[in-house]
Amino acid sequence: MRTIDWIDGGIELIDQTLLPHRLEQRRVTELTDLISDIQRLAVRGAPALGVAGAMGVALIAANVAAADTSGDAAAARAEVVRQSLLLREARPTAVNLSWGVDRALTRLDEGAAAILDEALAIRDEDIAACISMGLRGADLTRELTGKDPVRVMTICNTGGLATVERGTALGVIQTLLEQGSLAEAFPLETRPLLQGVRLTAWELQRMGAPFRLLIDSAGPFLLSRGIADAVFIGADRIAANGDSANKIGSFSLALAAKHAGVPFIVVAPESTVDMATASGSDIEIEDRGVAEVAGFGGVRTAPEGIEAVNPAFDVTPYELITAIVTERRVIRPGTGETLATVPLEPLRS
């Protein structure tokens, strides 16, 4: 099952807003629908957004070519760029969306077919990257904890729903399960949109993993009581100094893991590393407004007329991160390693 794919001239994606109650695929053939799906989180997760960005450019190029009756190549090119910039800005924090758009646009002068080829290459690379991250992360977890099997905690959703197939942080958990090294997983509910409840629990259940769900505010306390041997999170953007932006609540887990002496591990593909962003203070944090906080599922739970501060992400300083795992390397900030100094290695498979 793929979260997002290109089929018969259009994008097909799982509508994650309907899970876990209904598994439904949407077919997207218009840019406005894709932008809406990204903003309402029908498709979400940094790697999946990278694929959506690239496939979106392929969709734009195909639609512009089909609508062009003038034969003006320069005007058509300009229109593809204009629409791609709208897609690029659909969500600001995750670097993968803009990365996917920009990479697809490198093939613009070669035509719509070449853009699609690039988008499909990004899709296939993501699948291979998730396998490699899972293997590197599983080995690292056993090394850092000295335990086998291990108990792990995670927040938000970083599984196949956040990528194309297997996932980043949850992909490591799946690999541990497949290797017989997972004792138990502890996903956090992930307020306010409950991605942990709706999506991660659904994926863990489907893979047959032993797990128990936690409310967000219980995670740090339970870490202090020794419930987990390691914490895994994903990342929506990793700055050049190693600061990592992820779902709100990640920073609290990092502080608690530091207090408890538990490894705190960021798992994300190389495409999430943004060497043009110096530190976490330079990462724009998306605020999603009051509606998500004031109610859920169409039921209002807060008084009318209130305001809210609702950051979708927070930033964990590199000093609190034990390791960053990508498909090509492991960086350990605590030992002085940096993204600039640790070389890339071949993919694992």
Would you say residue 231 has pLDDT above 80?
Answer: yes
Residues 118 and 167 in one domain: no
Catalytic residue (one of 126, 139, 236, 274): 236
Q: How confident is the model at residue 85 (pLDDT cuts 50, 70, 90)?
A: very high
Residue 346 lies in a domain: no
Which of 71, 91, 125 marks a domain boundary? Answer: 125
Residue 343 lies in a domain: no
| Residue range 165-204, pLDDT digits in tens | 999 999 999 999 999 999 999 999 999 999 999 999 999 9
Residues 141 and 72 in one domain: no
Residues 41 and 80 in one domain: yes
Q: What is the number of domains present in the chain? A: 2
Residues 6+ apart with CB under 8 A from 253: 153, 155, 188, 219, 220, 223, 231, 233, 264
Listed range (189-203, 254-268, 292-306) with the worst mean pLDDT: 292-306
| Residue range 55-68, pLDDT digits in tens | 999 999 999 999 98
Would you say residue 312 has pLDDT above 80?
Answer: yes
Residues 104 and 147 in one domain: no
Residue 163 lies in a domain: yes
Domain at 213, CATH number:
3.40.50.10470
pLDDT, position 320 = 98
Would you say residue 262 has pLDDT above 90?
Answer: yes
Residues 24 and 106 in one domain: yes
Six token digits for residue 17: 């807003």
pLDDT, position 92 = 84
The one-letter code for the residue type at 260 is A
Which of 71, 90, 125 marks a domain boundary? Answer: 125
Residue 227 lies in a domain: yes
Residue 31 lies in a domain: yes
Residue 277 lies in a domain: yes
Q: Which domain holds residue 179?
A: 134-335
Residues 65 and 167 in one domain: no
Mean of pLDDT values over 285-304: 93
Residues 95 and 151 in one domain: no
Residues 106 and 181 in one domain: no
Domain at 107, CATH number:
1.20.120.420
Mean of pLDDT values over 122-147: 98
pLDDT, position 296 = 86
pLDDT, position 93 = 82
Residues 77 and 203 in one domain: no
- Binding-site residues for substrate, in ranges, read 44-46, 91, 195, 246-247
| Residue range 277-290, pLDDT digits in tens | 999 999 999 999 99
Which of 125, 152, 179 marks a domain boundary? Answer: 125
Q: Is 274 a catalytic residue?
A: no
Mean of pLDDT values over 134-155: 98
pLDDT, position 71 = 86
Mean of pLDDT values over 227-246: 97
Residue 149 lies in a domain: yes
Cα Dmax for the chain: 69
Would you say residue 341 has pLDDT above 80?
Answer: yes
